[in-house]
Amino acid sequence: MRSAAASNQGTLVSESPSATTAVFHARFEQVAPIPLAAEITCHGGELLALVGPSGSGKSTLLRSIAGLYQPEQGRVVCNDETWLDTIANIHLPTSRRRIGMVFQNYALFPHLSALENVLEGMDVPTAATARERALELLHRVHLDGLAARRPAQLSGGQQQRVAMARALARNPHILLLDEPFSAVDRATREKLYVELADLRRDLPMPVILVTHDLDEATMLADRMTILSHGRTIQTGPPLVIRRHPANIEVARLIGLKNLFSGVIIAHQPSAGHTLIGWNGQHLKVHLRQDFPPGTPITWGLPTTDVLLMPLDHDSQGNLDNPVSGRIAKIVTLGETVHIQVHADETDGARLFLSVSHHIARRYALAEGQQLALRLRGEHIHLMPADDSPRRTRLTASESAVNSPA
Amino acid sequence: MDWSALFLSLKLSTATMLLLLPCGLWAGRALAWRRFRGKALLEALLALPLVLPPTVLGFYLLLAMGGNSPLGQWYRSLFGHTLAFSFDGLLLASMIFNLPFAILPMQRAFESITPEIRGAAMCCGMSRWRQFVRIEFPLAWPGIVSALVLIFAHTLGEFGVVLMVGGSIPGETRTIAISIYDRVQSFETTAAGVMSAVLLAISLTAISLSYALGRRLESRHTRV
């Protein structure tokens, strides 16, 4: 079996000429019961992560693509084939959409063996070559020798691999993964991350991964789309979104804790920075001439870019902004110490910083202590002013330090 | 031992069971997965024979099948005799009386198949028929068999409805339960005892089978 599989590795997913250039596009709109206003695009061979807190509509979106959920209005086009078009009254049933789907709890057929599960995923399970190809798929997901096992006799990670093999069995035009890592332990999950990253290099079709885990999306996805209340609010490469959230809502969803209101004072192109006012203080930030002076803005800064500054420190960076404050709270989580500081002269604005354990010890940090800090202006990110009420955040990113907010 | 009564009972039970199988599959599956207006009322109606005294049900069925009812007249015009007090009438009454035994276990069996499993079957591109044959039926079959066993055993032992709708015509409507009653009435205690023992044995076997299968269904779904 092994040798047959090895020699056929290249034919795991048969290449169709259009597959590599295929573009998947979906748009959904609905008012109730679950509000939807979403648009996603995914290219062949690309992995797009749909990220949002629970209840943000990620799974509904995925189910709508699969045809397992019928939104009020929408359009789904895959490989120039229209699967859904509510205006033209096209509703292709799930079984006729060429999808491969891995469900959150895998949804393996409990009465069938691993091999039979994969066979059921094929168009013609009785074909002479079907069995060989199913074994080959099982080999590809590292399940050699487990073909005869029933799902109940497999570990969580093995079940996920069977689900993956089954999803790939019919050469899908799109692969849909619904939180495929949420039901396994951490060690298994990390192994499966590597396997997916390895597997997807050979996959010509678009892959859509639903997850609530920002780090998972950052590791695995080429691009990610942030979802909130059924709306797609920003799409881009994970690191770009994490550095440059489009608005305060995205900033909150990705767990940016230092978020404050400010106003543009002036642009100083010759010095390479913009001046913003923050509760009577002036901060130098990266030049952003797209906001005219006088514009109210929201600014954000990662907790790792609020630095402790020794009082005798004089070699500060060009865009460093000195701020002083008093430590309000210290919480230690493993190797990282999360510190909440009440900044002086800013109406008691709360700044959050995280430092490693040994730094905290060297500075002998304690609650009530007066601190000199610097805010790294080149990492201060400007966004349109917050004009909306507070919305939900990714709960996972909340930490104890943030709770008083 | 009234062999013709035993044979008639077995014939009635088997026919009821076989005729209710497709009805139960269709209705059980629909009730398990579909949501529609008036579902609760329909479920209550289908379960009514469980709580209604058999004589009450038998009375209404007799009225519905009698020569003066539209159904009775229609039947008589087709076959030349009344539906009441005939094997056909008995079979129809038996089917109605057994509806809850057919539908409830099958509904529970289909309900135990999760929406994800059904979604996965659809995502695999299976046709509806293949979904039913390869996934739904194998997962639900202990519930289905359990329903069939219950119908069989229950029909075998039914007395009230049979008496009201069928009377006691030898070879036509005199089932083993009626026959036992007749023997006791005429002080033939030994014959009644033998037949009672046979009925007891068949019923016990059937109900044990049903429980064993029910447990199997349960373990199949909790194992995963």
Q: Which domains does chain A have, with CATH numbers?
A: 2-243 (3.40.50.300), 248-402 (2.40.50.100)
Query: pLDDT class for B84, splitting at 50, 70, 90?
Result: confident
Q: Could you give the CA distance from residue A223 to residue A206 in angstroms, rounded to a whole number?
A: 12
- The SS3 assignment for A159 reads helix
Hey, what are A32's tokens? Answer: 């109730």
Q: From the CA of A111, how many Å to the nearest CA of chain B?
A: 7
Interface contact A110-B221, CB threshold 8 A: yes
Interface contact A120-B124, CB threshold 8 A: yes
Q: How many Cα atoms within 13 Å fall on the side-chain side of residue A230?
A: 15
Q: Could you give the CA distance from residue A11 to residue B25 in angstroms, rounded to a whole number?
A: 42
Summarize the confidence of residues A264-287 as an average pLDDT: 89
Residues of B in contact with A66 (CB under 8 A): 119, 123
Interface contact B125-A110, CB threshold 8 A: no
Residues of B in contact with A121 (CB under 8 A): 124-125
Query: pLDDT digit string (tens) for A111-147?
Result: 999 999 999 999 887 778 888 999 999 999 999 999 8
Interface contact B125-A109, CB threshold 8 A: no
Q: From the CA of A105, how many Å to the nearest CA of chain B?
A: 8
Query: pLDDT digit string (tens) for A348-386?
Result: 789 999 999 888 888 888 888 888 888 998 889 999 987
Residues of A in contact with B121 (CB under 8 A): 109, 120
The answer on pLDDT for A9 being more than 60 is no
Interface contact B119-A101, CB threshold 8 A: yes
Q: From the CA of B112, how many Å to the nearest CA of chain A?
A: 12
Interface contact B127-A107, CB threshold 8 A: no
Taking a C-beta distance cutoff of 8 angstroms, is the pair A115, A151 a contact? no
Q: Which helix (H) or strand (E) holds A331?
A: strand A320-333
pLDDT of amino acid A20: 42
Summarize the confidence of residues A96-125 as an average pLDDT: 91
pLDDT of amino acid B67: 78
Interface contact A152-B135, CB threshold 8 A: no
Q: From the CA of A201, how many Å to the nearest CA of chain B?
A: 23
Q: From the CA of B128, how many Å to the nearest CA of chain A?
A: 9
pLDDT of amino acid A347: 73
pLDDT of amino acid A343: 87
The answer on pLDDT for A389 being more than 50 is no
The mean pLDDT of chain A is 85
Asked if the interface predicted TM-score (ipTM) of this complex is over 0.90, the answer is no
Taking a C-beta distance cutoff of 8 angstroms, is the pair A293, A304 a contact? no
- B→A interface, C-beta within 8 Å: 114, 116-117, 119-128, 134-135, 138-139, 220-221, 223-224
Residues of A in contact with B223 (CB under 8 A): 110, 152
Q: From the CA of A121, how many Å to the nearest CA of chain B?
A: 4
Q: How many Cα atoms within 13 Å fall on the side-chain side of residue A44?
A: 17
Query: pLDDT class for B69, splitting at 50, 70, 90?
Result: confident
Taking a C-beta distance cutoff of 8 angstroms, is the pair B188, B102 a contact? no
- Higher per-residue confidence, B88 vs A311: B88
pLDDT of amino acid A338: 93
pLDDT of amino acid A360: 87
- By Cβ distance, the residue of B123, B138, B223 closest to A66 is B123
Mutate to test the interface with A, among B122, B123, B131, B134 (most CBs of A within 10 A): B123
Q: Under 8 Å CB-to-CB from B192, ≥6 apart: which residues?
A: B180, B183, B184
Q: Is the peptide bond before B115 cis (omega within 30 degrees of 0)?
A: no
**Virtual CA dihedral for A395, A398, A399, A403, nearest 10 degrees?**
-100
Interface contact A152-B224, CB threshold 8 A: yes
Mutate to test the interface with A, among B122, B124, B136, B220 (most CBs of A within 10 A): B124
Residues of B in contact with A110 (CB under 8 A): 117, 139, 220-221, 223-224
Summarize the confidence of residues A61-68 as an average pLDDT: 93
The answer on pLDDT for A168 being more than 70 is yes
Angstrom distances, CA of residue A257 to CA of A224, A226, A327, A352, B75? 21, 17, 16, 7, 80
Interface contact B124-A166, CB threshold 8 A: yes
- By Cβ distance, the residue of B123, B128, B220 closest to A101 is B123
The separation between CA B197 and the C-alpha centre of its own chain, rounded to angstroms, equals 22
Spell out the domain ranges in chain B. 3-33+46-59+89-222
Interface contact B124-A105, CB threshold 8 A: no
Determine the topology of domain B3-33+46-59+89-222 in CATH. Answer: MetI-like fold (1.10.3720)
Interface contact B114-A98, CB threshold 8 A: no
Query: pLDDT class for A315, splitting at 50, 70, 90?
Result: low
Interface contact A103-B120, CB threshold 8 A: yes
Residues of B in contact with A111 (CB under 8 A): 138-139, 220
Interface contact B221-A98, CB threshold 8 A: no
Interface contact B124-A170, CB threshold 8 A: yes
Beta bridge partners of B210: none
Q: What are phi and psi of B118, to 5 degrees?
A: -65, -40
Interface contact A111-B139, CB threshold 8 A: yes
Interface contact A68-B117, CB threshold 8 A: no
Hey, what are A273's tokens? Answer: 């920075």
